[in-house]
Amino acid sequence: MFLLLVLALAVALVPVSGGRLRALSDLRFRAPWLLFASLGILVGLLTFPGEENWIRTALYLATYPLTAAFVIVNRRVPGLWIVGIGALLNFAAIAANGGVMPASAQALRAAGLVADPDVYSNSAVLADPRLLFLGDVFAIPRSWPFANVYSVGDVVIVLGAAYTVHRVAGSRLVGRRRVPDAPGV
């Protein structure tokens, strides 16, 4: 949730930095169903928790090729490749750990989160994690709103999305000025 707030702040900064929010409505994605399918699977897995099994793991892992396909078919959208790199970082950690994002016990404690080993979770403390440095190792402390843990990939995804928003909107924050609406303006 915190990372979504960061993205919302990035969008709010577009007009302040000389960009046009209207330019975002002109953006047309190819094959948006790929992204919607990926997000739908994730929401379903997180909304309806259950025991971990091979079907849940396979569904969770399937969201990444769907997202990768979306990024590939929309590769001309400025900055979307950065979002793809973040997703790839997350996928590497998850795939290396059998479908679970490894989490730092220290980060979970700092966020005040308690994992239930009997319920499926896309992020968990593992006995012998692989690529833990790509896992959920950062925490928003439990004393703050929206306390949670997140990964390097999550940060790259949000920064990539923010960059894409500002680039498409013509913001000065990314070094690109928008084209004037009329000559001499």
pLDDT tens per residue, range 119-166: 666 788 889 999 999 999 999 999 998 889 999 999 999 999 999 999
**CA 88-174-157 angle, 5° bins:** 20
DSSP assignment of 62-128: HHHHHHHHHHHHTTTSTTHHHHHHHHHHHHHHHHHTTT-EEB-HHHHHHHT----TTS--SEE--SS
Smallest Cα–Cα separation from 68: which of 100, 38, 111?
38
Determine the Cα–Cα distance for residues 72 and 104; give it in Å rounded to an integer.
31
| 161 contact partners, CB below 8 Å, separation of at least 6 | 7, 10, 79, 83
pLDDT band at 117 (very low <50, low <70, confident <90, very high): low
Backbone angles phi, psi at 81, to 5 degrees: -65, -30
Name the burial class of residue 150, with classes exposed (0-12), middle (13-18) and buried (19+) by CB atoms within 10 angstroms of its CB: buried
Q: What's the pLDDT tens digit per position in 37-92?
A: 999 998 888 787 667 778 888 888 899 999 999 999 999 999 999 999 999 999 99
Q: At what angle do helices 152-169 and 80-96 cross, to 10 degrees?
A: 170
Report the chain's mean pLDDT, rounded to a whole number. Answer: 87
> What global pTM score does this model have?
0.84
